[in-house]
Structure 1
């Protein structure tokens, strides 16, 4: 963030899984005169958008150290997954529009059922998601990332999707594509610290608590954390110093963190809600999110994901299982997940 103007520049540096963590808040036009959170673009797509004013490339955007990745570069040369089997973490994504549409339709339906089962028979407040949810969500994420990078394939695939599914697929692909425009592939990898996120319903409880306190919709807060750190999976600070699951710059945290710990998930969510509220939310979400990260592509992506969760809470549980990717000049690498 520019100390002279209090405003920042887009920080989508690591939309790594979205990117690895978009570093974030920057001074906002209408908010208190403190530095915005200043996070780094590290979205869970590892697309690495460009960092906001105060942060610049986030750790994810910098590239992953070969030895730290959990999966090899994405490939599309293997045999597609059988209809009844759970997809392998690196299963090939069909490049034929008709086959890809069928695969996405099947995967989306199976993922919805898997999430319903997890919520009704499992316990999202403890531990991580069951294998079917993890693998189906990863396959869906990888397919969306492919479509985001190939607009022609995307348009031909949309035309073959069921009418009820097309808007959802298009929204997610569009959000990822916007974040990817902010990413700069890195040639020299850096080490990233990643870890398992807090349980899904523990995070949901924090988002809803912050909504009650500051009036900022929980879906918007969840979408910000999704883009910033893939729900806390990315633990590395940005190279500009942005920290925590919501990626705050120290000065901004001092102003909006209410005395909490920037690395504590509950405190970070409350701080983000406080900052967004001071910047215009819930009345002016676009203005508030732009203050958080000076990029309209970032704003659009966050709101697209938030609307998806608002329409169907199962989308939250699917997004929760999206993994961290990093974009390098040699291709994408997945840093988390199976």
Structure 2
């Protein structure tokens, strides 16, 4: 059995496996040029909108009179929406950018981050649900509901009282993840060899470490991008490197196959992490990607947020602490507000 860091998240992401970390994962980096050539196929459901390439270097439209909901993220100062209307605008703008294969890398990164913040904001405010749904196009309501429900599932794995939340940030490094196209090849190889849908493997990778952004060991001793504890790795690792994404993803495929993924995906996921909330959240992310494969590219841009008593703290790529650090001290050092 593995134990991961809650990312989302997850994000977390974060958005992930154990309750000591944030929900999946969530500092976006521009996608490499290779991502476009090997990006997921067209969505199985209706496209969220038209091209967002525009004519400016950031992909925004020339002559647009409406405020760009992604502008703050493009400027490197992403923020959570302050109202249901702002949340719906961020979600819709992000969906248009992600659905368009011509979206430039910087805008795709901004879209992923803005999308994540919008979902997190709605998840934290159940009173917004109906208003946000009413403001969204019908084609985005199911996807939004799934992402918000997943976020709530992962949040339920954390303490509910502020007094019980972390006062220190973890002894982690936050690194740039492998390109989305490279990771997708590994997921699909595992799917071919072990019969585990690639979207489930991607969802686990997102939730456990933000696609490998988190370089650190959990309090349960879990390691690597798919968060294996050593005894489990001895069974499924087949002599590979637990820190290597290819080896770890294939090992996750072997573990899920051995635990009956083909006949009972939820049961196999529960053996990966024995939490019904974890199973629910991972399954929802996987199902979103099955309906809209390009959503994987947005998830790949979600940075890491760590839940603390001071709020959810964005740990950007480049964060590096050898030992836990008090949240307030780190925020003061970095000149950053709490999230």
Q: Same fold (TM over 0.5)?
A: yes
Match of 2:95 in 1: 108
Match of 1:86 in 2: 71
Q: Rate the CA distance shift 1:16–1:141 in 2: closer, same or farther, 3 A.
A: closer
Q: Find the aligned partners of 1:97 and 1:278 in 2 and give their Cα distance.
A: 44
Match of 2:300 in 1: 320
Is the 2:10–2:16 contact (alpha carbons within 8 Å) kept by the matching residues of 1?
Answer: no
In the alignment, is residue 220 of structure 1 matched against residue 213 of structure 2?
no
Match of 1:117 in 2: 102
Give the TM-score, by structure 2 length: 0.74
**1:285, distance to aligned residue in structure 2 (A):** 0.3
Match of 2:110 in 1: 135
Match of 1:303 in 2: 283
Match of 1:180 in 2: 155
Match of 1:269 in 2: 249
Counterparts in 2 of 1:44-63, with a 5 A limit?
44-45=24-25
> What SS does structure 2 have at the residue aligned with 1:247?
coil
Is the 2:174–2:214 contact (alpha carbons within 8 Å) kept by the matching residues of 1?
Answer: yes
Q: Find the aligned partners of 1:41 and 1:282 in 2 and give their Cα distance.
A: 30
Q: Find the aligned partners of 2:309 and 2:69 in 1 and give their Cα distance.
A: 35
**1:187, distance to aligned residue in structure 2 (A):** 1.3
Match of 2:187 in 1: 207
In the alignment, is residue 95 of structure 1 matched against residue 82 of structure 2?
yes
**1:117, distance to aligned residue in structure 2 (A):** 1.8
Q: Rate the CA distance shift 1:83–1:255 in 2: closer, same or farther, 3 A.
A: same
Which stretches of structure 1, 4 residues or more, deviate above 6 A after TM superposition?
none
In the alignment, is residue 22 of structure 1 matched against residue 16 of structure 2?
yes
Structure 1 vs Structure 2 CA RMSD: 2.4
For residues 12-36 of structure 1, what are the alpha-carbon distances to aligned partners after superposition, in whole Å with 9 as ceiling and x for unaligned? 6455431237347xxxxxxxxxxxx
Note the residue ranges of structure 1 that are not aligned, 5 or more in a row: 2-7, 25-38, 47-80, 123-129
Q: Find the aligned partners of 1:332 and 1:285 in 2 and give their Cα distance.
A: 31
> What SS does structure 2 have at the residue aligned with 1:333?
strand
Q: Rate the CA distance shift 1:15–1:97 in 2: closer, same or farther, 3 A.
A: closer
Q: Find the aligned partners of 1:256 and 1:85 in 2 and give their Cα distance.
A: 42
Give the TM-score, by structure 1 length: 0.74
**1:259, distance to aligned residue in structure 2 (A):** 1.3
Q: Rate the CA distance shift 1:97–1:211 in 2: closer, same or farther, 3 A.
A: same
Counterparts in 2 of 1:136-155, with a 5 A limit?
136-155=111-130
